[in-house]
A and B are shown apart, each in its own frame.
Chain A
Amino acid sequence: MPADYKSLSRISWQIRQDILAMIYQAKSGHPGGSLGMTDLFVSLFIGKLLRHDPKRPDWEKRDYFFLSNGHISPVFYATLAKAGFFSKTELMTFRQLNSRLQGHPHFIFNSNHRLAGVENSSGPLGQGLSQAAGMAIALKMDQKKNKVFCLMSDGEQQEGQIWEAYQFIIHHKLDNLIGIIDYNQIQISGKTKDVMGLGNLKLKLISFGFKVLDMDAHDFQDIFAKIEQAKNSKQPTIILAKSVPGKGVSFMENDYRWHGRVPSESEYQQAVKELMIKEKSLV
């Protein structure tokens, strides 16, 4: 692993510990998708695949990142804090009274209470892609070059609105928008194929008119390659980011029950121990 990927990977293992600390303290939250998407978030915000400046969150040349599956807010908040958007001490207010770190991200227009780095409110699944499309078409109207990223979950593809948005993006030729699907194949009550199968998602998206890229969401080299490829695409692009839900914690990996479950004290200790070992192995 090249040195810079190695340092990103080490940061990922640290952030995974922050994620579990937040959820454990709040006694509420979603570890599965958060741990699965950590390498991608780190690549975007720490690896700077996303054009942004934590000191100037409203910088008008930034790329926009819309989170659609807002329940993985722990990885979003922990990464934003690590990138320097706000203080890491605030992470422990997650899901507590008067916190800016709502269970599902809250964006407030024209407010000082706004959390830097968060571009949209999300939570009810299926809306983020349409919001991102609205931003993308606004940028086109103003002839601006910024890119718009939208992260969704695969379970979220069951929402009808997502397919309304795909149709809209293709119709309006929004090649400045990059959709990423966390393809972890689980959702809250089971495996996605058992709850409501998505069929051949890739073929469906291609038939809509998208360029579709496969990504290994735990291979930094592949994450960087695919995001760069998507940025340079002249066609609206969707990335299928294959990930392991619960990544890094042996008893959470690929188990849908950890979609939204809080670890007990002993589970928490065990999980942090495993993550620390992985972090230290990279020193």
Chain B
Amino acid sequence: MSELKLQATRDGFGEAMLQLGTENQQVVALCADLSDSLRLDKFKKIFPSRYVECGVAEQNMMSVGAGLALAKKIPFIASFAVFNPGRNLDQLRVATYSELNIKVVGGYAGFGNGGDGATHQAFEDLAIMSSLPKMTVLVPADAKQAHELTLLASQVEGPCYLRLGRVELEPLDKFAKIEKVSIGQAQILKKGQDLSIFATGLMVQEALKASLELEKIGMSVEVLNFHTIKPLDHQAIIKSSQKTQAVIVAAEHEINSGLTSLVAQSITQAMGREINQAIAMESIGMENSFGESAKNEDLLKKYKFNYLEIIRKAKLVLNKKKRINS
């Protein structure tokens, strides 16, 4: 079945760029010698005059992108997330200060291709991007969603970040019925009563896998896909956590920032307002560590970015909930 083809989010992005190239003459792509890795090679071939090669110079690339946005182009500025925004944050910050219509594409986020090792593995990008005023932060959960979010990003008026991975994923459709995405609205992939799993990126399908296992032992699990980290869907967080009183946050990201801390903040600030009870919480992320070289599947297993870890945390969080309520 063709819909079950394994694809990385970068593949969905590359396909969407071809569509945008045809549909919108203002769309241009910039890349720092990584057009193949970022899946911009076809765009480069078909729209050579709208592909701007920047060479291995990410700081210049970001500001060149700013200049193109000043000329009312819609630049997609792409490189590995460790460099973009990792290396060119100052340039990005000035462009964002101008509220320019730039689209920053951070590829190989998380463990990237695995083998490259920690220097090429971005676990900080969501923290960086969600700290910038006016920024929209998007994280697709599969290739199809990457395609949709790329198209939507081109319509956002203002700076936007698209986080892409290299791990090939099964389509989410395999696990649940998936509606079209809408920026700023978390997707409720599954409704449940006992536990909420708030996931982003590749952890979304791990959350769905975990939910299937947990249901086998009689638990009712709610799964939300946070494809938008900023603006964050506070109402979805509040509503779900209020209902289940037990939350697991799962992101292929540093654990003290990004989705984990944003959810914790959202819940804490709603206490005494919409939420009038304690909420038990656990999270999954990189814990005070850089990555290393290995195959992706080995890294995801060693650093516990999988459904098994979600199941383990589910037991912990449900115990916490029991203690709170006893």
* Residues of A that sit less than 8 Å from B by CB: 66, 106-111, 119-124, 126-128, 130-139, 141-142, 160-161, 164-165, 167-168, 171-172
Known contacts A106-B98, A130-B64; decide if A141 and B59 are in contact (CB<8 Å).
Answer: no
Asked if B66 and A131 sit within 8 Å, CB to CB, the answer is yes
Asked if B59 and A107 sit within 8 Å, CB to CB, the answer is no
In this complex, the member of A126, A134, A135 whose beta carbon has the largest number of chain B beta carbons within 10 angstroms is A134
A121-B94, A122-B94 are known; give 8 further A-B pairs, CB within 8 A: A109-B158, A120-B98, A124-B90, A134-B65, A134-B70, A138-B72, A161-B57, A164-B55
Please report which residues of chain B, range 60-77, place their CB below 8 angstroms from some CB of chain A when the two chains form the complex.
60-73, 75
A160 to chain B, nearest CB (A): 7
In the bound complex, how far is the Cα of B68 from the Cα of A58, in angstroms? Answer: 16
Asked if B73 and A131 sit within 8 Å, CB to CB, the answer is no
Known contacts A127-B63, A133-B64, A137-B52; decide if A109 and B71 are in contact (CB<8 Å).
Answer: no
B201 to chain A, nearest CB (A): 29
Asked if B59 and A136 sit within 8 Å, CB to CB, the answer is no
A156 to chain B, nearest CB (A): 13
Asked if B157 and A130 sit within 8 Å, CB to CB, the answer is no
Q: Which residues of A contact B68 (CB under 8 A)?
A: 134-135, 137-138
In the bound complex, how far is the Cα of B101 from the Cα of A133, in angstroms? Answer: 17
Q: B99 within 8 Å of A by Cβ? A: yes
A126 to chain B, nearest CB (A): 8
Selected from A106, A137, A168, the residue in CB contact (under 8 A) with B55 is: A168
How many B residues have CB within 8 A of the partner chain?
Answer: 36
Asked if B57 and A108 sit within 8 Å, CB to CB, the answer is no
Asked if A167 and B57 sit within 8 Å, CB to CB, the answer is yes
B108 to chain A, nearest CB (A): 22
Selected from B55, B66, B71, B90, the residue in CB contact (under 8 A) with A167 is: B55
Asked if B94 and A164 sit within 8 Å, CB to CB, the answer is no
Known contacts A122-B94, A168-B54; decide if A108 and B99 are in contact (CB<8 Å).
Answer: yes
Q: Which residues of B contact A160 (CB under 8 A)?
A: 59
Q: B267 within 8 Å of A by Cβ? A: no
Q: Which residue of A lies closest to B73 (CB)?
A: A138
A61 to chain B, nearest CB (A): 14
Asked if B71 and A121 sit within 8 Å, CB to CB, the answer is no
Q: B325 within 8 Å of A by Cβ? A: no
Asked if B94 and A171 sit within 8 Å, CB to CB, the answer is no
Q: Which residues of A contact B53 (CB under 8 A)?
A: 171
Q: Which residues of B contact A123 (CB under 8 A)?
A: 94
In the bound complex, how far is the Cα of B72 from the Cα of A137, in angstroms? Answer: 12
In the bound complex, how far is the Cα of B68 from the Cα of A161, in angstroms? Answer: 17
Asked if A161 and B70 sit within 8 Å, CB to CB, the answer is no
Q: Which residues of B contact A107 (CB under 8 A)?
A: 70, 98
Q: Which residues of B contact A132 (CB under 8 A)?
A: 67
In the bound complex, how far is the Cα of B89 from the Cα of A28, in angstroms? Answer: 27
In the bound complex, how far is the Cα of B66 from the Cα of A137, in angstroms? Answer: 12
Q: B97 within 8 Å of A by Cβ? A: yes
Q: B135 within 8 Å of A by Cβ? A: no
In the bound complex, how far is the Cα of B53 from the Cα of A66, in angstroms? Answer: 22
CB-based closest 10 A-B pairs: A134-B67, A130-B63, A138-B71, A164-B60, A164-B57, A134-B64, A131-B67, A135-B67, A161-B59, A134-B68
Please report which residues of chain B, range 18-77, place their CB below 8 angstroms from some CB of chain A when the two chains form the complex.
28, 49-50, 52-55, 57, 59-73, 75
Asked if A131 and B55 sit within 8 Å, CB to CB, the answer is no
A115 to chain B, nearest CB (A): 12
Q: Which residues of B contact A109 (CB under 8 A)?
A: 69-70, 98-101, 158
Asked if A138 and B67 sit within 8 Å, CB to CB, the answer is yes
Q: B91 within 8 Å of A by Cβ? A: yes
Asked if A131 and B101 sit within 8 Å, CB to CB, the answer is no
Selected from B28, B60, B98, the residue in CB contact (under 8 A) with A141 is: B28
Offer 25 A-B interface pairs, CB within 8 angstroms, sorted by A: A107-B70, A109-B100, A120-B70, A121-B95, A121-B97, A121-B98, A124-B93, A126-B59, A127-B90, A127-B91, A130-B61, A130-B63, A131-B66, A131-B67, A134-B66, A134-B69, A135-B70, A135-B71, A137-B52, A137-B67, A160-B59, A161-B63, A165-B60, A167-B55, A168-B64
In the bound complex, how far is the Cα of B63 from the Cα of A123, in angstroms? Answer: 13
Known contacts A109-B99, A120-B98, A164-B60; decide if A171 and B55 are in contact (CB<8 Å).
Answer: yes
Asked if B91 and A130 sit within 8 Å, CB to CB, the answer is yes
B228 to chain A, nearest CB (A): 22
